[in-house]
Amino acid sequence: MHIPELKAILIQEIPRIFQTHITDVSSQDKKFQTFFDQHLHWMKPVITGSLGGMIEASFMSHEEYLIFLDQLKEQNRIVGSTFLLQVPELSPNDVLELNQNLYFHLISTCVRVTEMEKVYTELKSQIIERLYITFSTSDHSFLQGYLQLKDKQVFDLHQQKLSLVGQMAAGMAHEIRNPLTSIKGFIQLIMEQLRSERLDKDDLNFYLSICEEQMNSLDSVVSNFLSLVRNKSGRSSAEWYTLTSVLERIQVLAQFYALEKSVSFTIHIPEYEVKLFGSPSDLEQISLNIIRNAMDAVSAGGHGKVHLEVSHQAGERTIKFVFIDNGQGMSPSVLAKVWNPFFTTKESGTGLGLAICRQLTEEMGGTLEIQSLEGKGTEVTLTFPIEAKDLT
């Protein structure tokens, strides 16, 4: 028997080997049956093609065979690093199991054919030995590729984690800077007072009390941030408080920011006093975040105006805060993303302001809505319920 004839006989056997392999694994495991039902159309040419290549390789010269193995290694490494992403229903173990089964059917066929055709022992053992090496090499490089993929995934995950940590740290810094800026400003005012001839104790007291408030707010900013990260509520203790007391503080701080940014800030406070249950510092934080955003949006324009309209009608069960600015507004695509933590269009922004606002508002049982027209301005509406019995 001549080598070309033997090779031809073996090649002719390929469709049968493939069919036996599919029937065999499908009957062993339902998972494989479903897999081949779905993927047979492209698996068939791939598998039969590579069987052909393996048989050819068993008859090559030693040098040719080494080149073949090198190519096989590279191919299988790529398959290992991409296959499982494309075919997520199979595990690497499944792939090895399939390969093992295919090897078994190929070897059985080779043994049967070589015995039938009375192939001389040397050639017979070369074929069997080569097929063994070919299959082991393909398994080995497949696994190598797979491990490289896993390594890369672990590395990417680690990078993502690091960048998230960086973003979070930046977010913390941003949230801490607001109260720090106002503490610094009021300390300057206090120092000016102390240097002046006319010392107003009431003013001094007021400035100091704001500094103290801001330090408390620093403290709650840190716990708020942690609870945003942990998505856990119950940080600030709830209490009864009057709306005007919070609004007055918001007004003073907003005026202060407005001065800094050279924009105008106006506020309309309802005539009715309302008592609210919750944390006054949460309401303050939400409002100041929204006001700072509004001021960021208008300051670029020049004639910037930010207005806060607080409205409550007697007997109504909700209170409404509408923050209006005539700033740059937002495009629909920006508007769609503003709630995402870390979404920002500002160079030094963190994109955490609105995410924190939303979380705090929802915890108060309220809603937060934004309407915006690019080039015209933005209206942020904060509504939250108050019980009828809360009214005085």
Rg (CA), the chain: 36
228 three-state secondary structure: helix
Q: Which of 344, 366, 368, 382 binds ligand ADP (CB under 6 A)?
A: 344
User: Residue 227 Cβ, how far from ligand ADP at the closest point, in Å?
Assistant: 17
What is the C-alpha to C-alpha distance for residues 149 and 142, in angstroms, rounded to an integer? 11
Residue number with the smallest Cβ distance to Mg ion = 353
User: Which residues have C-beta within 8 Å of that of residue 254, sequence separation ≥ 6?
Assistant: 265, 267, 287, 288, 291, 306, 308
The answer to whether residues 391 and 272 touch, using CB atoms and an 8 Å cutoff, is: yes
Residue 291 in the binding site for ligand ADP (CB under 6 A): no
Residue 325 in the binding site for ligand ADP (CB under 6 A): yes
User: Residue 52 Cβ, how far from ligand ADP at the closest point, in Å?
Assistant: 59
The separation between CA 7 and the C-alpha centre of its own chain, rounded to angstroms, equals 55
What is the C-alpha to C-alpha distance for residues 151 and 81, in angstroms, rounded to an integer? 10
Residue 353 in the binding site for Mg ion (CB under 5 A): yes
Q: Which of 72, 353, 364, 382 binds ligand ADP (CB under 6 A)?
A: 353
Residue 346 in the binding site for ligand ADP (CB under 6 A): yes
The first and second tokens of residue 361, run together, are: 């508002």
The answer to whether residues 193 and 207 touch, using CB atoms and an 8 Å cutoff, is: yes
Q: Which stretch binds ligand ADP (CB under 6 A): 9-17, 62-70, 113-121, 327-335?
A: 327-335
Secondary structure string (H, E, C) spanning 299-345:
HCCCCCEEEEEEECCCCCCEEEEEEEECCCCCCHHHHCCCCCCCCCC
What is the C-alpha to C-alpha distance for residues 236 and 220, in angstroms, rounded to an integer? 7
Binding site partner of 330, from Mg ion, ligand ADP, none, Cβ cut-off 5-8 A by kind:
ligand ADP
Residue 350 in the binding site for ligand ADP (CB under 6 A): yes
Q: Which stretch binds Mg ion (CB under 5 A): 71-79, 124-132, 292-300, 313-321?
A: 292-300
Q: Which stretch binds Mg ion (CB under 5 A): 22-30, 121-129, 180-188, 350-358?
A: 350-358
Residue 171 in the binding site for Mg ion (CB under 5 A): no
Q: Which of 334, 336, 369, 375 binds ligand ADP (CB under 6 A)?
A: 334
The separation between CA 17 and the C-alpha centre of its own chain, rounded to angstroms, equals 47
Number of residues that bind ligand ADP (CB under 6 A): 23
Residue closer to ligand ADP, measured from CB, 49 or 375: 375
Binding site for Mg ion (CB under 5 A): 293, 353
Binding site for ligand ADP (CB under 6 A): 289, 293-294, 297, 325, 327-330, 334, 338, 343-346, 349-355, 378
